[in-house]
Amino acid sequence: MDTSPNLDAAFSAMADPTRRAILARLAKGEATVMELTAPFEMTQPAISQHLKVLEEAGLVVRRVQGTKRPRRLAKGGIEAMDQWLAMLRKALERNYDRLDEVLASMEKPKEGEKR
């Protein structure tokens, strides 16, 4: 799909926790830079810089509304996040796969043994 971002650029952009938080906020709906800045202890220029990285990675788009430039998730951004989440889910499943092995190696307590 031609709206898909370059995944390397997308994952690289998402490697930063602030940018992930911005994406998460935008997943809830369109927001202005001011609204995006509010939850962070960062300046607007710093947030704008993060937005620029996200836009260049094809994850976020802006539109013009008077003097405002509200941002929203790009279609490709949602796809990239799905893939990021699949990766995270895999790590979560890895935890429990490891736990399966731990459980398999555990000994059943002897009859009457107090624990």
- Contact positions vs other proteins (CB under 8 A): 17-18, 20-21, 23-25, 27-29, 39-40, 78, 81, 83, 85-96, 98-104, 106, 109, 115
3-state helix, strand, coil in the chain (%, to 5): 60, 10, 35
Q: In terms of CB distance, is 9 or 40 closer to other proteins?
A: 40
| Run of H or E residues at 77 | helix 75-105
Q: In terms of CB distance, is 110 or 115 closer to other proteins?
A: 115
Q: How far is the CB of 84 from other proteins (least distance, A)?
A: 9
Smallest CA-to-CA distance from 20 within 44, 54, 49 is with 54
With contact defined as beta carbons under 8 Å apart, do 58 and 2 qualify? no
Q: In terms of CB distance, is 32 or 40 closer to other proteins?
A: 40
